[in-house]
Amino acid sequence: MALVAERWGLIPELQSFAKAGKPVWGTCAGMIFLAESAEGQKKGGQALLGGLDITVSRNFFGAQINSFETRLAAPECVKSFGSTDDFRAVFIRAPAVLTAGPGVEVLAEYPLTPEEAAAHGRDKVIVAVRKGVLMATAFHPELTTDIRWHQAFVDMVRQHSQQPDATPPPLFGNLGRLPNRPTDLPVYGKAHMATEAL
C-alpha cells in the first residue's frame, strides 16, 4: 500500500490533507499508515503518514490462522448510535497499538487470551484510538453490517466542518458499484458461511 502510494506521489498529498486538519480514518494497514512509529516492518521499512502519536506493532497477532473475530465493548461515540454496548470486530493479520502518547483517546481495547498474554508479556492491547480528527482502528468495521463506527466518523467530520446539523447529500443508488465492475461481496456472519442479515 505504502509502496504504491509512494510511487504515485500520494504520500505528500495525503500528508498535507491530514496536516490541514482534515479528518482521516485508517483501518488495519491504514492504522499503521497514520502511526508515528511502527514495529515489525519489512526490510528497509515503509513510508508512514504519521500524525497519530502511537506505536503500533504490525501483524501483532501473527499469521492468518490467528486472524479472528470477537465482540468488544463499544466506546461512547459508537454506542450512542445504537442500542447494544458492544460491537462485532473482525481482525485480519491485524496490527495493535503498543503505546499511545498523551492526548490520544483510547476508544477500544482487546483483552489478550492467556496464550497471547504469555507471548507478549501484557494482558491487553489498544485497538482503536482517536486524536482530534484522526481516528484509527485495528479491526475492519467495513467488513460487518454494523455501521456505528462509520456514523461516529461522519459525526466527527460534521463537528469538524462546524455543520453539526448538516444532512448528508442523498446517496446514489449504485454507490460502491463502478461501471463494468462486479458489486460488493456479501457480509458473512459468524455462523458457517451464512451471511449476516442487513
Partner 1 sequence: MASEKGTFAVKVGLAQMLKGGVIMDVTTAEEARIAEEAGAVAVMALERVPADIRRDGGVARMSDPHMIKAIKAAVTIPVMAKARIGHFVEAQILESLGVDYVDESEVLTPADEIHHINKHNFKVPFVCGCRDLGEALRRIAEGAAMIRTKGEAGTGNVVEAVRHCRTVMGAVRNLQTMDDDELYVYAKEIRAPVELVRQTKHLGRLPVVNFAAGGVATPADAALMMQLGMDGVFVGSGIFKSGDPASRARAIVQAVTHYNNPQVLAEVSANLGEPMVGIDVRDKNFTSYAQRSE
Contacting positions for partner 1 (CB under 8 A): 3-4, 7-8, 28-29, 40-44, 58-59, 62-72, 86, 90-93, 113, 140, 143-144, 180-183, 185-190, 192-193, 195
In contact, 32 and 138? CB cutoff 8 Å? no
Helix (H, G, I), strand (E, B), or coil: what is residue 34?
helix
Catalytic residue among 36, 39, 69, 142: 142
Quick one: 39 or 155, whose CB is closer to partner 1?
Answer: 39
The string of DSSP codes covering 128-176 is EEEETTEEEESS-GGGSS--HHHHHHHHHHHHHTT-TTPPPPPPPTTTT
Nearer to partner 1, 69 or 155 (CB): 69
C-alpha cell at 1: 500500500
From residue 49, alpha-carbon distances to 10, 27, 44, 159, 197 in Å are: 10, 14, 16, 23, 36
Least distance (Å) between residue 4 CB and partner 1: 5
Please report how close the Cβ of residue 158 comes to partner 1 at its closest, in angstroms. 28
Half-sphere exposure of 24 (CA within 13 A, CB side): 22
Compute the least distance from the CB of residue 62 to partner 1, in Å: 7
Q: Which is nearer to partner 1, 1 or 166 (CB)?
A: 1
Closest CB 118 distance from partner 1, rounded Å:
16
User: Measuring CA to CA, which residue among 166, 169, 134 is closest to residue 153?
Assistant: 134
CB of 65 to partner 1, least distance (A): 5
**Helix H or strand E segment including 81:** none
Complex with partner 1: residue 73 or 157, whichever CB lies closer: 73
Known catalytic residue: 77? no
Is-catalytic flag, 140?
Answer: yes
Nearer to partner 1, 75 or 131 (CB): 75
Indicate if 142 belongs to the active site: yes
Residue type, position 72, single letter: L
List active site positions: 28, 140, 142
